Amino acid sequence: MDDVLAQVADGHAARRNTHQAGCPHCQAALAEYDRLWAPVREVAGAAVHPPESPLQAALRRIRGTVHNPTYGVLADDDGQTRIAARVVVVTAREAAQDVPGVRVALSRLRLPGSGSVGQENAVRVGMAGQSTAIVLTVAATYGTDLYELAERIRIAVDEQVRAVTGLEPVAITIAIDDVFAAHSDIALPD
């Protein structure tokens, strides 16, 4: 039977040797094996498209994430959610503003290549896919431990950005640009 199956697999079921030509068992086996082997021949004749290599898939995703640095992208089987950089800016500013010791968190959006206006007083955001990097400028209350304040701001901003946007803050840089006395009557910007 192994010889008969090999004969069918090689595509020679119709070529019968002298024994097969006179043997009803071999004729039945050749016909049955040929019928059962037909789906294998059909699949074997179909064009095979190899799957995308892991490297190709990674490069395709990387190219897509850096295509638009003003949006973060969360993708799943149902589609994509694009989140604008300005949403991260507002979320970061609001989270920082709620940290005790922060007098003002400045929120003028500045994206890469947008010029030098307001660079020192801005929340700067970098976006790539699900990752975001944030530079936040704040003014603190005089007498506050500034290093510890920066750590509390980082924790608050990280938690809030993740909760609100679903994006992952990969770097949060805090720039403490000024300090104000606790009893100061200075009007603070909104």
Classify residue 49 by its DSSP letter.
-
Closest CA to 110 of 129, 93, 130: 93
Distances (CA, A) of 164 to 50, 142, 160, 169, 183: 40, 31, 6, 12, 33
pLDDT tens digits, residue range 79-95? 888 898 889 989 999 99
pLDDT tens per residue across span 26-81:
888 888 888 888 888 888 778 877 777 777 777 766 666 556 667 888 888 888 88
From the list 116, 115, 106, 114, the residue with the least C-alpha distance to 136 is 106
Q: Quick one: pLDDT at residue 70?
A: 77
One-letter amino acid for residue 155 of the chain: I
Model-level pTM greater than 0.85? no
Per-residue model confidence (pLDDT) at position 119: 44
Q: What is the pLDDT of residues 117-153, one digit of tens each?
A: 444 445 678 888 888 888 899 999 999 999 999 999 9
Say if residues 134 and 123 touch (Cβ distance below 8 Å). Answer: yes
